[in-house]
Amino acid sequence: MRQAMLAAAVGDDVYGEDPTVNALQDRLAGDLGFAAALFLPSGTQSNLCALLAHCERGDE
């Protein structure tokens, strides 16, 4: 397990540098027929991003 952890390719996902997350997003986009995909690790984060994408400040 330690060897796998040491050998894993890692990067900062905030800057788009994590090759594993990038590969997941690319695969999902291709499988679903979209140009791009975004991985969100929780339903709460997904809901927040959806609200921010569709609502303006002050909307009810």
Q: Does a structural domain hold residue 42?
A: yes
Q: Is residue 60 part of a domain?
A: no
What is the number of alpha carbons within 13 Å of residue 11 lying toward its C-beta?
12
Q: How many domains does the chain have?
A: 1
CA distances in angstroms from 47 to 6, 7, 18, 55, listed in the order given? 34, 34, 23, 12
Q: Is residue 59 one of the residues assigned to a domain?
A: no
Q: Mean of the pLDDT values across residues 2-23? A: 92
pLDDT tens digit string along 42-59?
999 999 999 999 999 888
Residue 20 pLDDT: 92
**Is residue 6 situated within a structural domain?**
yes
Q: Is the pLDDT of residue 60 over 90?
A: no
Domain span at 8:
2-54
Report if residue 40 sits inside a domain.
yes
The predicted-structure confidence for 10-19, as pLDDT tens digits, reads as follows 999 889 899 9
**19: part of which helix (H) or strand (E)?**
helix 19-32
